[in-house]
Amino acid sequence: MIGYLGEIAIQNYLGARARYVGDKEFTHDLVYKKQRIEVKSKMCIRRPDPEYIAFVNGRRGMEPDNDIYFFSRVRQDYRRVYIVGWLPTSTFFDEATFYGEGEYDKHGYHFLLSGYTVPISELNAPKDFKKS
């Protein structure tokens, strides 16, 4: 449910030119101006702080087949979706820190899945994507 709400929110934000393909493609959720967008969403209790992380689960050395990652946070009561930013896929992996399953970050966050993180503060603003 969290993932679908993030996808819907980002598709609505991007407008009529954003086409949902997540039911046919398994590498990305949306296509916008020929850019293949994968949406990643996490649950939150309140507005996300800039030091919160954007997370892409997967193994070390993974090579996703998409162009852009868009990130959102869905409030636990499902009443609000925060679109927190985006990065080109290659930039995300160049800047990301990998954490293995069971590891902790410097803030004490326990990773239940292996994956890559970038602080939300280092993402591009959503409005900047529409300009490109």
Within 33-101, strands assigned E span 35-44, 53-57, 68-75, 81-88, 97-99
Does the structure show a pLDDT above 70 at 132? Answer: no
What pLDDT does residue 130 have?
81
Q: pLDDT tens digit string along 50-108? A: 999 999 999 999 999 999 999 999 999 999 999 999 999 999 999 999 999 999 999 89
Identity of residue 120: I
Closest CA to 115 of 65, 61, 75, 73: 61
Q: What percent of the chain lies above the pLDDT cut of 90?
A: 93
Paired with 75 in beta bridges are 44
pTM, to two decimals: 0.94
| Residue 112 CB coordination number (10 Å) | 9
Residue 95 CA to residue 69 CA, distance in Å, equals 13
